[in-house]
Structures are given as structure tokens and as C-alpha cells.
Chain A
């Protein structure tokens, strides 16, 4: 074994060129691979670190899963692969795995002294890319880079497919790659990746030829547009080509849409699956959440957009949303979201707690929630786990609201819809909520609706997650068709069924054109609920139509990487928030719709992540993660500081609340939003 020993220091990397296709061209490869090592056993940790360094990898070690997540969240592109022990005191390794899959979509290798088939199988089902038995030999570590390449390759493949010119350009890739690594030195991986991520949107769209994985950044707005398109077409009939046409986003390829759609579908499935499971978790909480989700689901495409818009929803829109939500809720569920509490809608505290509970339950079931459509897909436990997890770390979450994780949000929403949503919501929402706020605030959702500026303004600023709070105010955004008829275009979405949600989903799903399609029903449904609570039935004027447009939604969040992306998160958050708030609202709120909304959000956020179409988990996870993260972010910060909720990411909150409301609204207006935590503002990005 002895590799070059001698050096304990890793990274001697010089600047390997990373080809777009993910092949690290550098001769140094895989040296410099950035590994995050998580193990509570100090002996093992030291041994592994040494081994990895000997392999010339760059190692960051930590002994707690929470710390690992913090590192990952703070530096989203700072790691290439994660190696984690299964057995850890503060968090189950599988939960961490799920979180990572959802939020960051990094390859994760599990390790354990336990080589029992069940455990190994668990690793597989949770999405681990490999499973090592302790004691780990250095030989086993030498080849871990393959997982990184493989994952990237899969992602790129999606992109490639869409770009016609790409093939020809492939050859050029290597050269292009060189650019990436120019900065090098240790970083080629990093640089390349960063560049990829950073340039995703621009590059992907414009530069289809470079295969370098032009990740499309699925911002909230983009996701909303996506969801709107999907809803308009009908989830069953939504084919990438048509979605692409409807979305009419320059530079977006059919491949991007296809991969995003795949993820979205998984997300929805998970939501419906999850919702089924969860019935019992914190009912109250869940119900609210579910309501939210349900609302969200109905929002579906619209929702997302709405959410996106929501992110940016100005306080007014939130209000509108709330009103809408409230109105809706009364109409339907009577979600009485006390507007006053807008913050609460998103306050994570409650939901958080709930989630925790819910999650645990869920966790035990470890079944991927399939919120959507009642398809019992299971939401990858990972997602749920992430939800849970997100709740906890919300405080520090910064879940990157941006983009990638947005996925989680939609998922969350979806989850809530499906049913036991409450449970799901908790899980989903919480973590995700935070996310939204961030994005929400930022994106300048330009809701077509005049009044509704969905809080974009407000929200975006806050990005922190206080978005939710803003929701009520803007109400304009959420024009969720409070009437909840949600007919979610996606019939498949279970949301439709829930009375509450129904309106959400389908309605506004597609806001034609620019607006995020939250035409009211869909995404806003949820928010309505929230809003309902918040505003108590304001008129629905919020037509959140422009939800989708808030491109900068997530910008507000701290680091909102999403800037510029569609900040789906906000919407997602909204959903999430709603779900929780909705808590009691029809547990089965159409989580689907919510999910959809969430999904779309997530999608947007994720952009790149969607590449792994094949990786359901990834997507869903991402969705969930994102969402959850978002939600959480929003929530948690708010949990105690309700004030933030609203002011900050108003948009998000609006969305969320709208979504929630819708869900709920479909239901009882009691608004039990526990969503305090969800305030979009709080999404600590």
C-alpha cells in the first residue's frame, strides 16, 4: 500500500484538466479529490485520513454528521465525495446519506464494521454509491474517485443529449476543461466543478457544445415555470419537448427539461408515497403541513412559479397570498391562517419539532415518501431524513437555498400532500423551508399580477427565510385559486384529490408566460393556506402569477447561490411551510400539488442535479433537500424569531404560505400553521 507515502499532505494536485464529460484529464487525477470524512471513532478517523492523504486526496474530517452537513452546506462545491460511517451517535449514517443526496447530490460512500447484508442493502437503497467494510484498506480508497466521475458523467450525459452540437464539441471539451483548471492547483476539481456550477446556467444554455456539464440551474422561477408548464400539460402528458416549448426559456434544452422532469416525477412520487406513510406523525403539525403540501401540490407548476415568485414576493404578495390562502382556506379548508402569524406559518419551530417527530417516524419507516400521486414510491428515506435533519440544523442551515437544493422543497411539499403528510411535511418542510426563503426573497418575481408582487420584494430581501411572513402581505402573488379546485393538471397528483389542494394544483399552474404560473391554484394553494392564516382571507387577488418569475428569488438568502436561478426554493418553502401550517388541514392535501410545486422549485434549483435522472434519489433528494433545506432554513431561523419570517424573504413566505394555505385552505382555516418556522425569511442560506 504505500503510496507515495511521505506526504501527508494531499493535494499535490497541480491542475488537472477536468474534462467536461467528467473525465479528469489531468495526469494528477485523482489526486486532489476532495473528500469529506465522517466517523465518530477517532481511531478510524485518523487511519482513514491518513490513508486518503496517502492517496493524495484532500481530506476534511469530522466526527459528527451535523458538522459534516454544515461543512457541506457552507461550501457546496467544496467536496467531491463523502465517506461516512454508518454508525454514529448524533445521526444515523443513512440519514446523513439522504441529506447529502438531497441537498448536495454528492456521491457518498458508507462504511461500517457491520457487513451484514441488511445493512449493506440499506446503503444501496439509501443511495450510497459504495459500501466499505471496516477495517478499510487503502486499496479500497484508491478507487473512490470513480464514483465522482461516474456521477458527473451521468449528469453530463443529460446535458449532452440535449445539445445537438455537443457531440461535436466533445472533443473540444478537454481544451475547455483546461480553462477550468487553470486556477488550479488544488483545485482543479474544485475549480472545474465550481465553474461548472457557476456557469451552469449561462453555459448550459448558451454553450451546449461544451459538454462540461452545463448544469442548468433550476432556480425557483425556472422551476415554477417548469411546474406551470407541466401542470398545464398535465403531468401525464407532460413531455420534455412540450414543457420546453411552454417554458420558452432560451438556452434551456430539452435534455435539461427531461432530466428535471424525471426528478420531478420522482419527487412527486415520493411525496405521495411518503404522505401515505406518515399519517401519524404530529398530526397537528403534519396536517398543517400536509395542507400546505396539498396546497402546494395543486400548485404544481404554478406553484413553483409562484413560489419562485414568492421568494420574491413582496410583502404584499404575501398578504395576497395569505388572503388568497385564507380565503381559500375558508372556502375550502378554512385554513385560518392567522395572518398575524405569518411568521408562524413558516416558523420552523413548530414544524420543526414536528418534523422531528414526524421524521422519526418516518425515519423508522424509512420509506421514501411518495407523496405524489399517491404513488407509493418512497421518498427516499434520505429525503426524509434530510428533512429531519434539516430541521435541526436549520439554525445553521444555510441550506443553500439556491438552486440545487430546491428540489427538496418541492418534495417537501409533495410530501405533505400526500398524506401523512403531516409527517412528511415536517420532514420536508422543515428542512427545506429555510431554503425557500432565501430564494424567495431574492427573486424578483414579477408576478404579473399587479398586486401581487408577491412579496418578492420583501421576500427577496430577506432571503433569510422570513419569507413566509411576508407572504401574507403580498397576497398578490399568490393568486391561488383559492377556490381550490386545484385541478392539478397533473392528474396524477394526489393533490387533486384533496379538496384543499385541488385548487392549488391545477389552477394556476401555468401562468402563462412569464409568470410563474402560479396562477393561483397551484402553488398558491398552499400559500393560501398560509395566508389564510395570516391574513384571514384576503381576497384572492394575489394571483401569484408571477411567481415563477422571480429569478432572483433565492438571491436573498445568504449566499444564495441561486441568484439568478429561479428561486424555486421560495416556493418550495412555501409549500413546506404550508404543509406544516396546514397541519391539520386535510392531511392529504394534495401533497401532490404541493409536491409539484415543490418539485418544480426544486427542479429549478437543482439544475445540475437533475442530471442524474437515473438517480431518483438524487433528484428527489435534491428536491427534498432543497426544499427541506429551504424550508428549514426559513423555518428555523424563524422559529424563534418570527419576525424574520416575513420581512425577509417575503416572497418565499408568501409562496409558502400561499401554498400552505391552499393546502390548508382547502382545509380548515384554523391555520394551525405551525409553520412559524417557515417564514421564508429565515432561510439561512
Chain B
């Protein structure tokens, strides 16, 4: 019961993440890679992503004013990483950032970068919640 409820809750959170565009099919791919040695593979990857991307976010912030080439480079890396976990919204904001960067739009870059960070942290929070519930559900 409790377990079933938890499972339902987890499923519901998951569904909404997809519905709201936070996650895309790549996340499903990760789930599909679960196996005996990595029963929660997608969670592991997400954790790895957040750990590693913190560094990238730092790089971006440092380069913000306003080394466009570096920003472009870092963002490219960051975006690639995001795509790996299926962070759809974050990716979208990254693309916007790229456009500003290409246009050498400093203000645009700052603005879009804030949006990137916002989506990034929002997703992190939501995934944490999701994983927590899912774990409880499995426990």
C-alpha cells in the first residue's frame, strides 16, 4: 500500500516531468539501460551529471563577461552533457544561449544563462524528489 502509493506517486512525478518537457526520451533510454549491476542506472547518471556539470557551470560563469568563444565552447560541452540525461528544457535554454553567443549578444548571454541555470536547478530538484520517492517505493 504504502509502497503502491509511493510507486504511483513516483510514476506520476515521472510522467509530469515528461509532460512538462523537463525530460525527453533520452531519459527513457537511460532507464532502459538498467541492469543487475546498475539497477538505478538513470539515477546514477543524473548524479554524475550534476556533479560534473557544476564545474561546467562555473566555467560558464567565469567566462561570462564576456569571452564569447570560451562561452561557446563551455556551453557546447554543457549542452552535450545535458542531452545525455535527457534534460530537455535545459537543453533548450542552452540553445538559446548559443544563439546569443553567436550573435555576440552579451546581455542576451547573461539573460539566457540565468535561464539555463534556473532550468538546471529546477530539474535537479525535481529529479531528486522523484528518485527519493521511487527509492522509497522500491524499498
Co-complex (A, B)? yes
Known contacts A135-B84, A135-B86; A43/B33 CB under 8 A: no
Known contacts A1-B32, A43-B45; A113/B38 CB under 8 A: no
Cβ A1 vs Cβ B84 within 8 A: no
Known contacts A8-B38, A41-B77; A2/B32 CB under 8 A: yes
Known contacts A41-B52, A41-B77, A134-B80; A6/B35 CB under 8 A: yes
Q: Which of B33, B34, B48, B76 has the most CB of A within 10 A?
A: B33
Cβ A47 vs Cβ B35 within 8 A: no
| Closest Cβ–Cβ distance, residue A39 to chain B (whole Å) | 9
Q: Does A150 contact B (CB under 8 A)?
A: no
Complex: chain B residue closest to A89, CB-CB: B77
Q: Which residues of B contact A636 (CB under 8 A)?
A: none
Cβ A42 vs Cβ B76 within 8 A: no
Cβ A135 vs Cβ B45 within 8 A: no
Say which residue of B37, B73, B84 sits within 8 Å of A41 (CB atoms): B84
Cβ B76 vs Cβ A113 within 8 A: yes
Q: Which residues of B contact A2 (CB under 8 A)?
A: 32-33
Cβ B81 vs Cβ A43 within 8 A: yes
Against B, the Cβ 8 Å flags (1 = close, 0 = not) of A351-368 are 000000000000000000
Complex: chain A residue closest to B86, CB-CB: A135
Complex: chain B residue closest to A54, CB-CB: B33
Cβ A47 vs Cβ B76 within 8 A: no
| Closest Cβ–Cβ distance, residue B103 to chain A (whole Å) | 16
Q: How large is the interface on A (under 10, 10 to 19, 20 to 34, 35 or more residues)?
A: 20 to 34
| Closest Cβ–Cβ distance, residue A483 to chain B (whole Å) | 52
Cβ B77 vs Cβ A87 within 8 A: yes
Cβ B36 vs Cβ A135 within 8 A: no
Whole-angstrom CA separation of A575 from B107 in the bound complex: 54
Q: Which residues of B contact A5 (CB under 8 A)?
A: 32-36
Q: Does A237 contact B (CB under 8 A)?
A: no
Complex: chain A residue closest to B46, CB-CB: A43
Known contacts A50-B38, A113-B79; A43/B85 CB under 8 A: yes
Q: Does A7 contact B (CB under 8 A)?
A: yes
Whole-angstrom CA separation of A356 from B35 in the bound complex: 45
Cβ B76 vs Cβ A114 within 8 A: yes
Q: How large is the interface on B (under 10, 10 to 19, 20 to 34, 35 or more residues)?
A: 20 to 34
Whole-angstrom CA separation of A44 from B45 in the bound complex: 9
Q: Which of A98-152 contact B (CB under 8 A)?
A: 112-114, 134-135, 137-138
Whole-angstrom CA separation of A350 from B72 in the bound complex: 34
Q: Does B18 contact A (CB under 8 A)?
A: no
Q: Which of B61-116 contact A (CB under 8 A)?
A: 73, 76-77, 79-81, 83-86
Cβ B81 vs Cβ A44 within 8 A: yes
Q: Does A46 contact B (CB under 8 A)?
A: yes
Q: Which residues of B contact A113 (CB under 8 A)?
A: 76, 79-80, 83
Q: Does A243 contact B (CB under 8 A)?
A: no
Q: Does B41 contact A (CB under 8 A)?
A: yes
Q: Which residues of B contact A42 (CB under 8 A)?
A: 48, 52
Q: Which residues of B contact A50 (CB under 8 A)?
A: 33, 38, 41
Cβ B76 vs Cβ A137 within 8 A: no
Q: Which residues of A contact B80 (CB under 8 A)?
A: 41, 44, 85, 87, 112-113, 134
Complex: chain B residue closest to A8, CB-CB: B37
Known contacts A43-B48, A50-B41, A113-B76; A138/B35 CB under 8 A: no
Whole-angstrom CA separation of A42 from B44 in the bound complex: 12
Q: Does A51 contact B (CB under 8 A)?
A: yes
Cβ A54 vs Cβ B84 within 8 A: no
Cβ A6 vs Cβ B36 within 8 A: yes
Complex: chain B residue closest to A6, CB-CB: B35
Whole-angstrom CA separation of A112 from B36 in the bound complex: 29
Q: Which residues of A contact B34 (CB under 8 A)?
A: 5
Please, could you name 14 A-B residue pairs with CB atoms under 8 Å apart, sorted by A? A1-B29, A1-B33, A5-B34, A7-B37, A8-B38, A41-B52, A43-B52, A43-B53, A43-B81, A54-B33, A113-B80, A137-B26, A137-B29, A138-B33
Sorted nearest first, the 8 A-B pairs with minimum C-beta distance are: A113-B80, A8-B37, A5-B35, A135-B83, A6-B35, A1-B32, A43-B49, A135-B26
Q: Told that A2-B33, A41-B84, A87-B76 touch, could you supply 6 new A-B pairs with CB distance under 8 A?
A: A1-B29, A5-B33, A5-B34, A8-B35, A87-B73, A137-B29
